[in-house]
Structure 1
Amino acid sequence: MKVKRIVTNIHSDAVSKAKSFYQDALGLHLIMDQGWITTYGFDQDMKVQISIASQGGSETPTPDISIEVDDVDTAYTRIREAGFQIEYGPVNEPWGVRRFYVRDPFGKLVNILAQQ
Structure 2
Amino acid sequence: MTVRRIVANIDAASIAPVQKFYSDLFGLEIVMDHGWIVTLASEQTAGVQISIATEGGSGTPVPDLSIEVDDIDAVYARAKTLGHDIAYDLANEPWGVRRFFVRDPAGKLLNILSHPE
**Count of matched residue pairs:** 116
- SS of the aligned residue for 1:36 comes to coil
Aligned 8 A contact 1:66 1:110 in 2: yes
TM-score (norm 1): 0.95
- Cα deviation for residue 44 of structure 1 reads 3.7
Aligned 8 A contact 2:12 2:18 in 1: no
For structure 2, the 5+ residue unaligned runs are none
- SS of the aligned residue for 1:54 comes to coil
Higher mean displacement: 11-20 or 45-54? 11-20
TM-score (norm 2): 0.94
Of all paired residues, the percent bearing the same amino acid is 54
- Alpha-carbon distance in structure 1 between the residues aligned to 2:12 and 2:97: 30
- Cα deviation for residue 20 of structure 1 reads 2.3
- Alpha-carbon distance in structure 2 between the residues aligned to 1:97 and 1:44: 20
- Alpha-carbon distance in structure 1 between the residues aligned to 2:38 and 2:112: 21
Which residue number in structure 1 is paired with residue 93 of structure 2? 93
Which residue number in structure 2 is paired with residue 106 of structure 1? 106
Aligned 8 A contact 1:25 1:75 in 2: yes
For structure 1, the 5+ residue unaligned runs are none
Which residue number in structure 2 is paired with residue 60 of structure 1? 60
Which residue number in structure 2 is paired with residue 36 of structure 1? 36
Which residue number in structure 2 is paired with residue 73 of structure 1? 73
- SS of the aligned residue for 1:78 comes to helix
- Alpha-carbon distance in structure 2 between the residues aligned to 1:82 and 1:34: 27
Aligned 8 A contact 1:90 1:98 in 2: yes
Runs ≥4 in structure 1, deviation > 3 angstroms? none
RMSD: 1.0
